[in-house]
Chain A
Amino acid sequence: MQVKEFKPLIVAFCCNWCSYAGADLAGNNRADYPADVKIIRLPCSCRVNPMFILKAFQKGADGVILCGCLPGDCHYTSGNYYTRRRMAMLFSMLDFLGIERERTRVEWVSAAEGAKFAATMNDFVATVKALGENKRLEDLRCKK
């Protein structure tokens, strides 16, 4: 029997000013990364409410990554510092609930770092793939 390759579902939250532009640059440079990554554009990484991440896992995401401007370079001066603190808390709580630390990540990607964006996504997808499907927090009612 042929085993179907596991395709993880990755939600990436990107800030408009740095990492979303970095993702665009990855496109401009035709850098390759897996299509498992789906990007949601936000004004700033600090717009990411922990609820969004919980929702993603509830709906069957296998990994969630947040990308923001490099520390000190936030378009809104300090947003990414809030992100860093909030996510440190959230991720350790998720870890407690059984969602491995490797499934969640915060990464800083500047608008000039298209190659870094692609490399980050490649690495993250590979990491999540190795962990396999996420079963925790999943709302079974959502399954069709």
Chain B
Amino acid sequence: MQRIGVFVCWCGSNIAGTVDVKQVAKALENEPGVVYSTDYQYMCSQAGQDMIVNAVKEHRLTGIVVCSCSPRMHEQTFRKTAAKAGLNPYMVEIANIREQCSWVHKDMIVGTEKAIILGKAAVAKVNLNAPLTPGESPVTKRALVIGGGIAGIQTALDIADAGFEVDIVEKKPTIGGKMAQLDKTFPTLDCAACILTPKMVDVAQHEKIRVFSFSEVSEVSGFVGNFEVTIKKKARYVKEDICTGCGACVDKCPVKKVPNEFNLGMDNRKAIYIPFAQAVPKVATIDPNACNMLKAGKCGVCSKVCTAGAIDYTQKDELVTEKYGAIVVATGFEPISMEKFDEYAYSQSKDVITSLEFERLTNAAGPTQGKLLRPSDLKHPEKIVFVQCVGSRCASCAEKGKEYCSKICCMYTAKHAMLTRDKYPDTDVTVFYIDVRTPGKNFDEFYRRATEDYGVKYIKGMVGKIVPEGDKLHVQGSDLIANEQVHIDADLVVLAAAIEPDKSARPLATMLTASMDTNDFFTEAHPKLRPVESPTAGVFLSGACQGPKDIPETVSQAGAAAAKVIGLLAKDKLLGNPCVASSDENMCNGCSSCANVCPYGAITYEDKEFRMPDRTIQVRRIAKVNPAVCQGCGCCTVTCPSGAMDLRGFTNSQIMAEVDAICK
């Protein structure tokens, strides 16, 4: 029989406001096994924990029930407390009387009744708890960073500087991500390339970093400290280790009219290409959909001009399997498609562009060498209208856009408007906005400079329709402050498109079994206290894959994720989860049902000799669970037809006891 102590937490008024904690403590006093029951303002505080430690000693407790907040919040805390008191940490059970009781019910009597029942269920469970000891597993001291934008680059550099090996997997031919496409960066207006490309070079030269460019993660198995990842290196038809990036092949390639993705299709590239001059790795890639040699077997010019002999038309996708201790997701974002927003005439006029396209237009390395020219007739636009929140904060049009705020648009629109006025003071610049949100360091000052020093016109209101008329764009909007309709004949319209997670994020989340929110952003383990960790152990989040972020925020999160990874990789051994399945060899008949449903392949079979009552020896096939591989889902326990399989920490009898206690 256990000697159980019950500790009811007030959580200030969070619990005590709706639940009569004294009555709960009193009601649980008479439950089987309970020898001590009390309540306290803050059980998780030092004084509260000391109280538990003392009670364990004084009343020789063997089990603890804490009626408090969610076990997802403080289970670890109280397990440590139990260990401090000399108990096995797994002799603690939590009754969730805050998130699942006091916070969702308003009536004191109802809340108290329910809290008592939840407490009884926890007591019933602890009565059947057994001490558990976690197994140890080694840590592979290498990290994988998925995504080579500024988030991935910063995370990789920070981890590598701490002395651990890092691999970056980037799906594009070069690292650099969205930041490489930007012109200047707010609020300091330093050029994106000037601050990014040195970091890209650092990555290329770092002895601890390997870059898998033009590659994708195709399979993930294992668990924290011991991941096994299969990386697909897509065929680029150029030998990466031989190509010097001289560009002779690009010069001579006869296929000239392939839309250039890096400039968002605003100019053309060749069939063999290097995305931009500072690409890392600086290696050419052949586009198999455009290359004459790969399509029809006729041409071969690039292989003739390549003095290094790097061209290989027979290259195939290659699969590489690597081991890692930690995985960082840094898959970033993508502007949403403007397809569903045709009221802005994006598909009808070349002069309606997105902000990222505007970024390329003003970039010295862009299609117009940095001159602001309209895409349709290459004339200098005299009137420019910026439309903010295109697809952002779209609560009423969720089928088209996103309900959330994309966060970066207010600032980059102010930047675009300011830079335009700075370079071309004769240009008339108008911005339509819902709200201007500038809650960053030096952000509001920046926005005020745009309006006050540079004379950018800000109109509070949305644009309803844009109609191309001749070579003008007729913009119909509303001014909510003046309460009037506004009509502007603009030469160029720039849409601040909402941003969404990269398309590759969803399948990746499935591979990693990392959870996502309804918008496909990765969810963090705790929104405030564990913002860079995924709920899946060993998977970390960096940058805009977790939510819209600007560059300063992305870099800080990248560094934070790196710190967490370093903390993990610095350990030699990890304690496993002791709540794993185990098979009762006396009941198992080796039917293989459990192994068939195990998602981890944790169950194997062995022949074991059994001594029978008549003193003969019988050899029987029985299931064996590998505790280092088992993750403790419990699927096998339900499948087992002979009831031999059970899950430690969540045994059949424990759950039955909980059901019993609740239904009593």
Stretch at the interface among B191-199, B508-516, B616-624: B508-516
Contact with A along B595-631 (1 / 0, CB 8 A): 0010100000000000000000000000000000001
- Least distance between A9 CB and chain B CB atoms (Å): 6
Cβ < 8 Å to A, chain B residues 332-380: none
**A44 to B110 CA separation, bound complex (whole angstroms):** 29
**A122 to B121 CA separation, bound complex (whole angstroms):** 23
Q: Are A72 and B660 in contact (CB under 8 A)?
A: no
**A78 to B633 CA separation, bound complex (whole angstroms):** 10
A-B residue pairs in contact (CB < 8 Å), sample of 10: A20-B72, A27-B100, A30-B104, A35-B113, A60-B663, A75-B515, A76-B513, A76-B633, A82-B635, A82-B639
- Least distance between A128 CB and chain B CB atoms (Å): 14
**A11-B663, A17-B535, A35-B114 given; A40·B635 CB < 8 A:** no
- The yes or no answer to B632 lying at the interface (CB within 8 A) is yes
Beyond contacts A16-B72, A30-B103, A40-B658: 7 other A-B pairs, Cβ-Cβ < 8 A, are: A24-B73, A24-B100, A31-B104, A46-B638, A49-B655, A79-B635, A111-B523
Contact with A along B61-103 (1 / 0, CB 8 A): 0000000001111000000000000000000000010111101
Q: Are A47 and B104 in contact (CB under 8 A)?
A: no
Note all chain A residues with C-beta closer than 8 A to B635. 44, 46-47, 76, 78-79, 82
- The yes or no answer to A136 lying at the interface (CB within 8 A) is no
Q: Are A75 and B634 in contact (CB under 8 A)?
A: no
Cβ < 8 Å to A, chain B residues 101-146: 101, 103-107, 110-111, 113-114, 117-118, 121
Contact with B along A38-62 (1 / 0, CB 8 A): 1111111011111110011001110
Note all chain A residues with C-beta closer than 8 A to B638. 46-50, 82, 86
Note all chain A residues with C-beta closer than 8 A to B660. 55, 59
Cβ < 8 Å to A, chain B residues 486-533: 509-510, 513, 515-518, 523
Among the listed B103, B509, B517, B597, which residue makes an inter-chain contact with A82, where contact means beta carbons less than 8 Å apart? B597
Note all chain A residues with C-beta closer than 8 A to B655. 40, 42, 47, 49, 52
Note all chain A residues with C-beta closer than 8 A to B96. 24, 39, 41
| B interface residues with partner A (beta carbon < 8 Å) | 70-73, 96, 98-101, 103-107, 110-111, 113-114, 117-118, 121, 509-510, 513, 515-518, 523, 535-536, 579, 597, 599, 631-635, 637-639, 647, 650, 652, 655-656, 658-660, 662-664
- Least distance between A21 CB and chain B CB atoms (Å): 6
- The yes or no answer to A125 lying at the interface (CB within 8 A) is no
Which residue from chain B places its CB closest to the CB of A40 in the assembled complex? B658
Q: Are B535 and A35 in contact (CB under 8 A)?
A: no
Which residue from chain B places its CB closest to the CB of A58 in the assembled complex? B663
- Least distance between A127 CB and chain B CB atoms (Å): 19
Q: Are B659 and A79 in contact (CB under 8 A)?
A: no
**A23 to B98 CA separation, bound complex (whole angstroms):** 11
Which residue from chain B places its CB closest to the CB of A61 in the assembled complex? B663
- Least distance between A123 CB and chain B CB atoms (Å): 15
Note all chain B residues with C-beta closer than 8 A to A100. none
Q: Are B104 and A43 in contact (CB under 8 A)?
A: no
Note all chain B residues with C-beta closer than 8 A to A17. 515, 535
- The yes or no answer to A112 lying at the interface (CB within 8 A) is yes
Cβ < 8 Å to B, chain A residues 1-46: 9, 11, 16-18, 20-21, 23-28, 30-33, 35, 38-44, 46
Contact with B along A121-134 (1 / 0, CB 8 A): 00000000000000
Q: Are A55 and B656 in contact (CB under 8 A)?
A: yes
- The yes or no answer to A107 lying at the interface (CB within 8 A) is no
**A75 to B514 CA separation, bound complex (whole angstroms):** 7
Q: Are A110 and B99 in contact (CB under 8 A)?
A: no
**A28 to B14 CA separation, bound complex (whole angstroms):** 11
Note all chain B residues with C-beta closer than 8 A to A11. 659, 662-663
- Least distance between A103 CB and chain B CB atoms (Å): 14
Q: Are A18 and B515 in contact (CB under 8 A)?
A: yes
Note all chain B residues with C-beta closer than 8 A to A40. 121, 655, 658-659, 662
**A56 to B663 CA separation, bound complex (whole angstroms):** 7
- The yes or no answer to A102 lying at the interface (CB within 8 A) is no
Q: Are A43 and B647 in contact (CB under 8 A)?
A: yes
**A72 to B121 CA separation, bound complex (whole angstroms):** 31
Note all chain B residues with C-beta closer than 8 A to A86. 638
Among the listed A24, A35, A74, A75, which residue makes an inter-chain contact with B105, where contact means beta carbons less than 8 Å apart? A35
**A17-B515, A47-B647 given; A32·B106 CB < 8 A:** yes
Closest 5 CB pairs of A and B: A27-B99, A47-B634, A59-B663, A76-B633, A27-B103
Q: Are A47 and B99 in contact (CB under 8 A)?
A: no
Cβ < 8 Å to B, chain A residues 83-138: 86, 110-113, 118
Which residue from chain A places its CB closest to the CB of B105 in the assembled complex? A35
Note all chain B residues with C-beta closer than 8 A to A76. 513, 599, 631, 633, 635
Note all chain B residues with C-beta closer than 8 A to A112. 515, 517-518, 523
**A17 to B652 CA separation, bound complex (whole angstroms):** 20
Q: Are A42 and B650 in contact (CB under 8 A)?
A: yes
Note all chain B residues with C-beta closer than 8 A to A32. 104-106
**A11 to B656 CA separation, bound complex (whole angstroms):** 12
**A35 to B105 CA separation, bound complex (whole angstroms):** 7
Note all chain A residues with C-beta closer than 8 A to B70. 20, 24, 27
Q: Are A43 and B633 in contact (CB under 8 A)?
A: yes
**A44 to B630 CA separation, bound complex (whole angstroms):** 13
**A127 to B515 CA separation, bound complex (whole angstroms):** 30
Note all chain A residues with C-beta closer than 8 A to B597. 82
**A47-B647, A61-B663, A110-B515 given; A23·B633 CB < 8 A:** no
**A76 to B660 CA separation, bound complex (whole angstroms):** 27
Note all chain A residues with C-beta closer than 8 A to B633. 43-44, 46-47, 75-76, 79
**A17-B535, A35-B105 given; A44·B72 CB < 8 A:** no
**A41 to B633 CA separation, bound complex (whole angstroms):** 12
